[in-house]
Structure 1
Amino acid sequence: MKKNINIDIALTHIVTRRRQTLIAILGVTLGLSIYLFINSLVSGFTNFSREEMFKSSPHIKIYHDDEISIPLIFPKDSTEIVAIINPQITTLSKKIVDPEALLKRIKQEPYVVNAIEQVSFDLFYNRGQAQINGFGSGVDIFEYDAMFKTGKTLVAGRLEDLQNNLNAIIIGSGIAEKLNLAIDDNLTVTSSFGVVKRMKIVGIFTSGLTATDNSKSYVNISTAQQFVKKGSSFVNDIYINIPDPDKSDIYGARLRQLTTYTVEDWKTTNADALSSNRTRNALMNAISLSILIVAAFGIYNILSSTISQKINDIAILKAIGFSGSNVVWIFLIEAIFMGLVGIFIGLIAGGIFIAIMSNVYMGGHIGYFPIKFEGGLFASSSALGLFITICAGYFPAKKAADVDPVEIFRK
C-alpha cells in the first residue's frame, strides 16, 4: 500500500511544481542529446579515419627490417671493453627468402582473411622537364583489390589492363594532374636503382589521401622486380588482413612464431595517430559528459528545493509511520520520472541531429558527413543518463530520509 502512496506523493510533487519539473526535464534532454550527438560524431570520425587508413595499409605487415652491425669480438668479462667504431646497417637486401612458402603457411592460419605479397620501391615520374618523386607497389592487382578494394578508387581505366601488361601503370590523381596525364598517355619512370622504363597509363585512382595520390602508383609485380634489379622470387613485403583489426597485436604475436622477419601490426605503425585520436576522443567525451552532469545538477537542485519547502510534510510522514526508505523512494521516483522523460526526448532530439548531419554532403572523398546511428551508443547514453539522474536524486532523498520529526516539531 505504501508503495502506491509513495508514487502518489511523488506525482503530486511533480504536478504541483510543473515549472521546475519542466526545467529539469529540459536540462536532461539537452545534456543527453548533446552527449549522444558528440559521441556519435567521435565514433563516426574514428570509423572514417580507420576506413581511410585501411584503404592502403594492411592490418599486419611482414618485412625484412634493417639490422645494425654487432661487434665480432665480445668482452670476456665486465672489466674488458670491446669498441666498434661507426656501426653500419648490414642488411644488403630487403628480400624475404622463399616468400611463396611463407605466404602459403600464413594463409593456412584460421584467422587470416587475406595475405598478399608486394614489391615496393622508390621512383621518379618524369615527363619532359617535370619530375615528381614517389613510390611504386608491384602487386597482383586482383589480389590487391580483394584486400583494399582498389577498384572502387579508380576514376579512369580498368584494373584488368594492368594484370598481364609489364609496361602498364596505374597512377594517383595528383600525379596525373601535376604532369597533365590521362589514360593511354606514356610516362617515363626511373627507379632508385637507375632502371628507366617508359610506361603506359592504364588507370588513375584517387584515394582521398593527398600524400598517396601525389606519389603512389601500381605496376605488375614482375615489372617492380625489374625496377629493383631482382629476380622473379624477390618480395620485400607481405600484407595480411584479419577479421578484427583491433586484435592485430594478438595475431601479430602468433605470426612472429612463424617467421624471423619483422611482424608489425597497424597499431604500431600508426601509434602517433592513434595517440592523437585517443586524446581527442577523451577531450570530446569529457566535454559531453560534463554537460550531462550539469543537467543532472538541475534535478539535484530542484529536489533539494522541494525538500526544503516540504520539510514539515516530511516530518509528518515520518511521524505517522513512513520509514526513511519510503521517503527516499518518494524523491527517487521524482528523479527517475524526470530522468526518463528527459532521456526519451533527448534520444529523439539526438537522433534528429544525427539524421540531419548524416545527410549533409561534404564533397570530395568524404562524401556525406561521417556520422550514423549506432544502437550501442543510444543504449549506453540512456543507461548513463539514468544513472546520473538517479545519483542526482539519491543524495537529496537521503537527506530527506535523515530528517528527525521531533526536531522539526520543536521548531
Structure 2
Amino acid sequence: MFKPISLYIGLRYTRARRSNHFISFIALVSMIGLTLGVAVLITVLSVMNGFDRELKNRVLGMIPQASVSSTEIITDWPDLAKKIAQHEHVKGVAPFTQLQGMLTAQGQVSGLMVNGIEPQYEKNVSIIQDHMVAGSIDNLKKGSFGIVLGKQMTDALGLGLNDSVTLVLPEATPSPAGVVPRFKRFKIVGIFSIGAEVDSMMGYIALNDAATLLRLPDGAQGIRIKLDNIFLAPQVAQDIVKQLPSGFYSSDWTYTHGNLFSAIQMEKSMVSLLLFLIVLVAAFNIVSSLVMVVTDKKADIAILRTLGASPATITRIFMVQGTIIGVIGTFSGAVLGVILASSISTVIDWLNTRLGWHLFDAYFINYLPSYLRWQDVAVIVVVSLVLSFLATIYPALRAAKIQPAEALRYE
C-alpha cells in the first residue's frame, strides 16, 4: 500500500519509543495540556452561555422587557394595549400596576414587589404560568384578594397554597392611635418557581385589587411589552412613546438588568481570552518537544538526506509528527469538554445537595446553568488545530536545514 514517505516516517516517529524519555514526557505533557485547555475552554464557555441564556429566558421572562407607563392611571388601557400591539416588533402586551410592600406571616417579614396583572394578558408576556408548582394565575380574580408568590418566598415564610398572608403597605393611614401603616389580608392562590432571584422578590395580585389597595380608579399604571428581539427594547419603547400623547414614558430591561448582561458578556470575553492563552501555551510546548526531537534525530535526518530526501520532505515529516500531537490533544479535549459541559450542572447540583453547599445564592439564579453551543466547539477545535499546526513550522524548518556532513561527523 502506497504511503507518502513524509507521512509514513512521521507516523513511525510518533509511535516509536524514544531512547530519550524526557522528550517523550514533554510530548505527552504537550498533548495533555492541549486536551485540558480545550476541555476547560469548552466547559467554561458553556457555563457562561448558560448564564446568558438563563438571564434572557428566565429573568427577562418575568420582568418587563419594555414598558410604557403614564403619570396618571390609564383607565382605557385595553385600547392602548391594542395600539401598542400593532408595532411590528411587539409579540405581546399586558397591563400592570406595581406597588411595594412587606409580607408578614408566622412572625416572619419579607419585602416584596407586587404586580397587579390581568391573567389572560399576562400569559402573553410572561413565563410565570409555565413555572407554576401549585395553583394558577387564573385564580387571581377581582375582589378575591388572592396572591401568587414565588417558592423561595413561601418557603421562607413557612407558607403553602391556600394559606393567608398579610401585605403591609408603606403608605401610612391616620387613626385615633396615630399614624399606622396599611394592612391587607391575602390568600395564596398560586406558587411559582423560576429558580432565580425573582422567586423571592415578586408577587402577583389581580389588577383591580392593586387599584383598590392604592385607592385609585380601576385601570393600570402602564403596559408591559414582550418583543421579538430584546436588544431592540430601548428603540422600540421610545418609538411607541413618540406616537402617544404627552404624559407617557418608557422603560426597558437595560435599566434594571443591563449591567448584569454586560458583565456576563465581558466576563465571557475575558475568560475566553485567558483560556485561549492556556491552549497557546500548550501549543508552544509542541514547539519545545519537536525541537528536542529534531536534536535527537539529527543522525536519522542526515541519513535520509543522503538517501535523497529533500528538505521539503524532512519538513513535512516533523510537521506530521507535531500535527498528530495537536490533533489527538484537540479532539480528546473536545470530547472531554462536551462531556463536562453536558454534565456539570447535574454534578454541581448533586454536590450542593449532598454537601449542603450554597455556591450560587449570591447570583441572580441559584444553580449552575450550562448551554453547549456547537458553534463554540467548532471554533475552539479549529483554532487549537491551527495553533498546533503553526507550532510545527519552526522545528520542521530547523530540521530541514541540518547538513548531513555536520550531523554524521561525530556518529
TM-score between the two structures when normalised by the length of structure 1: 0.76
Corresponding residue SS for 1:306: helix
- TM-superposed CA distance for 1:300, in Å, is 1.1
**Structure 1 residue aligned with 2:223:** 238
**Structure 2 residue aligned with 1:293:** 280
Corresponding residue SS for 2:4: helix
**Structure 1 residue aligned with 2:14:** 14
* Aligned residues: CA RMSD: 3.8
Pairwise mapping of residues 116-127 of structure 1 onto structure 2 (< 5 A)?
Answer: 116-125=94-103
Q: Note the residue ranges of structure 1 that are not aligned, 5 or more in a row.
A: 65-92
Q: Note the residue ranges of structure 2 that are not aligned, 5 or more in a row.
A: 19-23, 174-181
* Native 8 Å contact 1:332 1:393 kept in 2: yes
**C-alpha separation between the residues in 2 aligned to 1:286 and 1:17?**
36
* Native 8 Å contact 2:95 2:222 kept in 1: yes
Give, as a single letter, the amino acid of the residue that structure 2 aligns with 1:5: I
* Native 8 Å contact 2:299 2:408 kept in 1: no
**C-alpha separation between the residues in 2 aligned to 1:266 and 1:281?**
20
Pairwise mapping of residues 237-256 of structure 1 onto structure 2 (< 5 A)?
Answer: 237-249=222-234, 251-252=236-237, 254-255=239-240
Structure having the higher strand fraction is 2
Give, as a single letter, the amino acid of the residue that structure 1 aligns with 2:272: N
* Native 8 Å contact 2:48 2:264 kept in 1: no
Q: Structure 1 pair 344/183, CA: closer, same or farther in 2 (3 Å)? A: closer
Residue deviations 1:337-386 (CA, integer Å, cap 9, x gap): 22112222222222333344243345699797522543223212211211
Corresponding residue SS for 2:90: coil
* Native 8 Å contact 2:123 2:129 kept in 1: yes
**C-alpha separation between the residues in 2 aligned to 1:253 and 1:380?**
38
Q: Decide which of 294, 305, 318 is 2:292's aligned counterpart.
A: 305
Corresponding residue SS for 2:147: strand
Mapped pair 1:227 → 2:200: no
Mapped pair 1:383 → 2:396: no
**C-alpha separation between the residues in 2 aligned to 1:96 and 1:332?**
73
Residue deviations 1:54-75 (CA, integer Å, cap 9, x gap): 24213223335xxxxxxxxxxx
**C-alpha separation between the residues in 1 aligned to 2:308 and 2:292?**
24
Identity of paired residues, percent?
23
TM-score between the two structures when normalised by the length of structure 2: 0.76
**Structure 1 residue aligned with 2:38:** 32
Q: Decide which of 263, 278, 303 is 2:265's aligned counterpart.
A: 278
Give, as a single letter, the amino acid of the residue that structure 1 aligns with 2:7: I
Q: Decide which of 42, 49, 52 is 1:43's aligned counterpart.
A: 49
Give, as a single letter, the amino acid of the residue that structure 1 aligns with 2:67: K
Q: Structure 1 pair 141/5, CA: closer, same or farther in 2 (3 Å)? A: same
* Native 8 Å contact 1:315 1:404 kept in 2: yes
Residue deviations 1:311-359 (CA, integer Å, cap 9, x gap): 5655676788766655443332222222112222222222333344243
**C-alpha separation between the residues in 1 aligned to 2:105 and 2:40?**
53
* Native 8 Å contact 2:237 2:250 kept in 1: yes
Give, as a single letter, the amino acid of the residue that structure 1 aligns with 2:5: I
